[in-house]
Structures are given as C-alpha cells and as structure tokens.
C-alpha cells in the first residue's frame, strides 16, 4: 500500500474523488518543489520531528492509537516535537513542565484554535466557549459557564431533575429482576436522560420530554459521526470549497434539525415567562437559567440566543464524550 493510498483511506475517499485528489496533489507537489528551499529562509527554528512526505506531511503515518503513537515519538525526538499535518503544523508537548507553560503560563498565546469546517456549522459559527477566539465574548461565555451556569447554587437547583432520572433507572432495573439487561446501554441512556433533564427537564412535561429525547438522540448520533470523521479540508483549507467528502453538506442538513429543537424549547419557556408562570416550575433547568442571564446580561458583551443555543450544544456534547 502506497503512502498516498494509505492517506486516502484515512479519509474514506472513494475512487472518483481520489482521482481528483491525486491530480491536485501532483500540481501541489510541483508548486511545492518550485517554491523550493528559498521559502525556508527566515523561518523560525522548529522542534525536531519525523520527516514527512511532500504535501501531506506526516498524515499518512499517523497511528489511530494517537496517545501511544505520540509517546513513541517523544521517546525519539524529545518532549517537544513537530508534525506536519497537510498544510497545518502541529506542535506536541509531552512533559509536565512544557504542558504547564503552554496551558498555564502562556495560555492566552495558545488560547485560539482553527475551527473545523464541520464544527463551525454545528457550533453556530464557532459561537460556543470551545471555539470562540479569546476576547471579550469568550470571557463572557466563560463567566456564564464557570461562575454562574455551573456554580454550586445552579447545580443544586437541578438536583431534583437529576434525582428523578436516577430513580427512573433504578425502578426500571428493579422491574427487570431475573431478566438480562445491557448495563452499558442503560448507563449510556441514563447519562443522556440526566443531561437532557438538566438542560430543559423543568421546561418540558414528562411524555413530551421522552419524545424530544428520542428525537434529540437520533440527531446527536448523526452529528457525532460527522464531527468525528477526519475531514481533508481541515488539513488542506484550499480544498474546503470542494467539500470532497460531503461532510459539510451533510452537517448543513443536520444542523437545522438541532436548531429547530432548541427553538421549540426556547419558545416554550418564553411563553411560560410571558404568562408569568415561571415561579410555578418545580425545578429550574439550564435553559431557564440561561434565558434569565440573557435578560440580565452585560450591555457591552450581551449573551444572545445564538450563544444560548451554542452553550446548550456544548452541554450535550459533554455527554457524548462520556460514551
């Protein structure tokens, strides 16, 4: 298997598309060679790293077991090394001292990151705390998340919602006494139900909440698959306009479904507020809290509806990480 074939298989590129990619690669290699070594003059020195192929760099040699692969490279090249990932340069640090410098001492310098094309669509243009560039907007979102949304008082306010879901799963398991059950699946569904209850469990009635959770689960499963798929456009931005793998097109079709669910929940809560029935809610959820923060927000850097949807998306994404 040639390095180019290996590279194409990593991105699940079919035969017809691979022909286009191969032709583009040939033109790019010629351009790369034409630029020559002259363009390297004046560049800052970089850490050591494995030699890559023209154009694709080290993409073809990446091991799916990344942490083991990086540990092996660190033993060869030291605690800081470079990888050329297509058009993107990656720097890997593997020692506690260097990690402290990057993540603590110089965290502002390294705070920003490129937003993948597919994630940009899912995250409302990168409006969430994970992808927003460092600045007033990001600091506002961090304040909302850390100091308000995830404060002890806020988490205590959704205690009843969490307890309700745990009681439901305990009752279900008890009812299945003597019968086999899939513990892994039930754990996954319990976490899912806890997260959705914390997001809007105090806003949506029981039966409707169950239907909404099932609909949400289907959309999330499809979106998670797209977000986890390697996208050649992320490593070669010049190819983004072609969407060779069709990932952007697929996400553009899924994202509105997510948005419609959020709109329904927000409209339902706003209608409750308009009737002055907020006080009648037995437990406040994150959606109620975020709408309140929006109404009382800072004029200079306000929390918008887009921010609220993006933050709800982040909360739900945390559930997927725990799968």
Listed as own residue / partner, the contacts of 316-323 with beta carbons closer than 8 Å and 24 or more positions apart are 316/195, 316/196, 316/199, 316/216, 316/220, 317/130, 318/195, 319/191, 319/192, 319/195, 320/220, 320/224, 322/191, 323/188
Q: Percent of the chain at pLDDT above 70?
A: 77
Half-sphere exposure of 76 (CA within 13 A, CB side): 13
Mean pLDDT score, 45-61:
90
In the predicted structure, residue 320 carries a pLDDT above the cut 70: no
Average pLDDT of the chain, as a whole number: 81
**pLDDT at residue 112 greater than cutoff 60:** yes
Taking only the tens place, the pLDDT of each residue in 209-232 is 667 767 777 888 888 889 889 999
> What pLDDT is attached to residue 24?
63
Amino acid 31: pLDDT: 56
User: Would you say residue 66 has pLDDT above 80?
Assistant: yes
Please give the pLDDT value at position 250.
95
Percent of the chain at pLDDT exceeding 90: 32
**The pLDDT value given to residue 149:** 80
Give the pLDDT confidence of 153-206 residue by residue, as tens digits.
888 888 888 898 889 889 988 998 999 988 877 887 788 778 878 887 766 665
- pLDDT confidence bin for 39, thresholds 50/70/90: low
In this predicted structure, what is the pLDDT of residue 117? 93
Q: How much is the pLDDT for 74?
A: 96
pLDDT at 33 over 70: no
Q: What confidence score (pLDDT) does residue 58 get?
A: 93
- Domains by residue range for the chain, with CATH: 3-110 (no CATH), 136-321 (1.10.630.10)
> Whole-prediction pTM value?
0.77
* H/E run at residue 138: helix 136-142
How many Å apart are CA 46 and CA 228, to the nearest integer? 29
Q: DSSP code of 87?
A: T
């Amino acid at each position: 298997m040639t390095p180019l074939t290996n590279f194409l298989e990593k991105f699940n590129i079919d035969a017809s598309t691979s022909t286009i990619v191969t032709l583009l690669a040939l033109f790019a290699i010629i351009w790369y060679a034409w630029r020559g070594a002259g363009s390297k003059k004046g560049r800052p020195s970089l850490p050591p790293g494995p030699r890559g192929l023209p154009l694709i760099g080290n993409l073809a040699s990446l091991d799916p077991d990344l942490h083991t692969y990086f540990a092996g490279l660190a033993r060869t090249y030291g605690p800081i090394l470079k990888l050329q990932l297509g058009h993107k340069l990656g720097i890997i640090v593997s020692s506690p001292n260097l990690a402290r410098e990057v993540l603590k001492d110089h965290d502002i310098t390294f705070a920003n990151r490129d937003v993948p094309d597919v994630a940009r669509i899912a995250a409302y243009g990168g409006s969430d705390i994970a992808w927003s560039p460092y600045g007033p907007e990001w600091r506002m979102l961090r304040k909302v998340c850390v100091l308000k949304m995830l404060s002890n008082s806020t988490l205590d306010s959704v205690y009843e919602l969490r307890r309700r879901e745990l009681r439901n799963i305990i009752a279900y398991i008890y009812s299945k006494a003597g019968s086999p059950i899939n513990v892994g699946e039930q754990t996954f569904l319990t976490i899912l139900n806890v997260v959705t209850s914390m997001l809007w469990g105090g806003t949506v009635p029981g039966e409707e909440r169950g239907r909404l959770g099932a609909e949400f689960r289907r959309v999330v499963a499809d979106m998670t698959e797209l977000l986890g798929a390697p996208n050649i456009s992320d490593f070669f931005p010049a190819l983004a306009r072609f969407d060779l793998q069709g990932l952007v097109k697929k996400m553009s079709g899924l994202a509105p479904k997510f948005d419609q669910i959020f709109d329904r929940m927000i409209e339902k809560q706003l209608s409750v507020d308009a009737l002055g029935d907020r006080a009648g809610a037995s437990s406040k959820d994150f959606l109620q809290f975020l709408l309140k923060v929006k109404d009382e927000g800072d004029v200079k850097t306000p929390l918008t509806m887009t921010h609220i949807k993006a933050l709800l998306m982040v909360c739900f994404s945390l559930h997927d990480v725990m799968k």
